Amino acid sequence: MEPSENSILFTPYKLGPVTLRNRTVRSAAFESMGDRYSPTQQLRDYHVSVARGGIGMTTLAYASVARSGLSFERQLWLRPEIVPALHEITDAIHSEGAAASIQIGHCGNMTHWRTAGQMPVSASGGINIYSPTVVRALRESEIVELAKAFGRAVRLAREAGFDCVEVHAGHGYLISQFLSPYTNHRRDAYGGSLENRMRFMRMCLQEVMEAAAATGCAVLVKHNMYDGFRGGIEIPESIEIAREIERFGVDGIVLSAGFVSRAPMQVMRGAMPIRTLTHYMDCWWLKWGVRMFGRMMIPSVPFRECYFLEDALRFREALKGPLVYVGGIVSREGADRVLNSGFQLVQMARALVNEPDFVERMRREGAGCRSHCNHRNYCIARMYSIDMKCCQHCPDLPKSILQELEKEP
């Protein structure tokens, strides 16, 4: 089968100051391959394999702009000490013909004292049962400092050779915790009206855009179309937020949804394999708690190909600037359909966890090409405790995991 004649998938795209060789981007998907908040050879090898596999741009996932914003020890903390090691990674990505991006963010209440080096912080204080942890509200002076940290992160990313940064403003992390009425109960200038809830995001974007203009960096912003539960952000309000993001002149908005501390499977769709998740945990009481209450806390959301497309089209109609589609792209036909609907770039995570050279295969095989990913989400369950890996690349999985993966819908 031939790909659709008007396919733009393998045409170059100018993303701000960088030109991508095609319209594909490896979405930020936490590799869990860092060591004490620093990059490793394993992280380099994974991204080089994706770059070699034909991607337009690959994204190193979720680097924190501050120590307080780290969720995991195997996560990156973007600081001057790791710039040389990151530069080795971007050099290697570039020599395979791909561009390099890094997602920057702050996890807010999704951490523990030990990882964050302090009590977890958020827009408002309380208890986050998903971490689980007690959280305190940020002081105004800290909010100003954290916004500046986003700007510093862009400068460091450029020093390390990245072509683009992706600001994580969705999925219930810190910027999203300010935006969402579910997590923001402040009574000062950062809470209440939408205008106030957007203030922290605006401060971060101001710093990011200044640093990006000064250093020649492309900027994407990952944004929630909706949080995915009653009391969270819904599409009409989210469109207003997206318009505000556009006003900063960003190079693209990545449209996603879901909230890690309330509706995590809205992001990825499918079911979380709880047995697998707990198999890799070493904290006995957490293991026990998740086995007892996991299915209730992490409800399944059915997967289907291009699952965000209808919602994303509402944003396409309302917005003028470049938009990046993410969510359930598993075939050449799906990627073409999304691009033909008016999106400028397509992002993929699991298709590339499963097969780093899926892009090259789409180019070679054309319209009939499909990913071998089955969306049982072993990679996600595993990533919380050890590295991100596809079950199809793990030959010696225990029987209990194999049985669970067979059972999942």
Ligand X SMILES: Cc1cc2nc3c(=O)[nH]c(=O)nc-3n(C[C@H](O)[C@H](O)[C@H](O)COP(=O)(O)O)c2cc1C
User: Minimum CB separation from ligand X for residue 308, in Å?
Assistant: 8
Residue 195 neighbours by CB under 8 Å, 6+ apart: none
d(CA 96, CA 58) in angstroms, rounded, equals 11
Per CB under 6 A, does 29 bind ligand X?
Answer: yes
- Choice among 62, 173, 182, 384 that is catalytic: 173
State which residue has the least CB distance to ligand X. 349
- Show the DSSP H helices in 327-377 as ranges: 332-340, 350-354, 358-365
- Kindly report whether the peptide bond that precedes residue 132 is cis, defined as omega within 30 degrees of 0: yes
User: Minimum CB separation from ligand SF4 for residue 256, in Å?
Assistant: 17
Asked whether 343 and 312 are in contact (CB, 8 A), the reply is: yes
Q: Which does 327 bind (CB under 5 to 8 A by kind): ligand X, ligand SF4, none?
A: ligand X
d(CA 399, CA 294) in angstroms, rounded, equals 20
User: Minimum CB separation from ligand SF4 for residue 303, in Å?
Assistant: 9
- CB under 8 Å, gap of 24 or more: what pairs does 118-122 form? 118/67, 118/68, 120/68, 121/68, 122/174, 122/177, 122/183
d(CA 157, CA 103) in angstroms, rounded, equals 10
Per CB under 6 A, does 256 bind ligand X?
Answer: yes
For the segment 168-197, give every residue that binds ligand X (CB under 6 A).
Answer: 168, 171
Q: Which does 71 bind (CB under 5 to 8 A by kind): ligand X, ligand SF4, none?
A: none
Q: Which of 348, 338, 331 is nearest to 312 (CA)?
A: 338
Q: Which does 376 bind (CB under 5 to 8 A by kind): ligand X, ligand SF4, none?
A: ligand SF4
d(CA 70, CA 49) in angstroms, rounded, equals 26
Among 50, 154, 175, 379, binds ligand X (CB under 6 A): 379
Q: Which of 346, 341, 280, 291 is nearest to 316 (CA)?
A: 341
User: Minimum CB separation from ligand X for residue 61, in Å?
Assistant: 4
Per CB under 6 A, does 34 bind ligand X?
Answer: no
Per CB under 6 A, does 222 bind ligand X?
Answer: yes
Residue 30 neighbours by CB under 8 Å, 6+ apart: 61, 62, 72, 75, 383, 388
User: Minimum CB separation from ligand X for residue 169, in Å?
Assistant: 10
Per CB under 6 A, does 383 bind ligand X?
Answer: yes
Closest to ligand X by CB, 74 or 168: 168
* Residue 161, CA atoms < 13 Å, CB-side half-sphere: 18
Q: Which does 218 bind (CB under 5 to 8 A by kind): ligand SF4, ligand X, none?
A: none
For the segment 98-127, give every residue that binds ligand X (CB under 6 A).
Answer: 103
d(CA 238, CA 169) in angstroms, rounded, equals 12
Does the annotation mark 46 as catalytic? no
Closest to ligand SF4 by CB, 227 or 355: 355
**Span from 25-33, 124-132, 192-200, 280-288 in contact with ligand X (CB under 6 A):** 25-33
d(CA 243, CA 241) in angstroms, rounded, equals 5
- Show the DSSP H helices in 102-139 as ranges: 113-116
Using CB under 6 A as the criterion, which residues of the chain lie in contact with ligand SF4 when the complex forms?
Answer: 350, 353-354, 373-379, 390-392
Q: Which does 391 bind (CB under 5 to 8 A by kind): ligand X, ligand SF4, none?
A: ligand SF4
Q: Which does 390 bind (CB under 5 to 8 A by kind): ligand SF4, ligand X, none?
A: ligand SF4
User: Minimum CB separation from ligand X for residue 350, in Å?
Assistant: 4
Closest to ligand X by CB, 221 or 290: 221
Q: Which does 341 bind (CB under 5 to 8 A by kind): ligand SF4, ligand X, none?
A: none
d(CA 183, CA 191) in angstroms, rounded, equals 10
Sole residue written with tokens 């986050």: 128
d(CA 11, CA 55) in angstroms, rounded, equals 12
Amino acid at the residue 164: C
How many chain residues are in contact with ligand X, going by CB under 6 A? 26
Binding site for ligand X (CB under 6 A): 27-30, 61-62, 103, 168, 171, 222, 256, 267-268, 326-329, 348-351, 353, 379-380, 383, 388
Q: Which positions are annotated as active-site residues?
A: 173
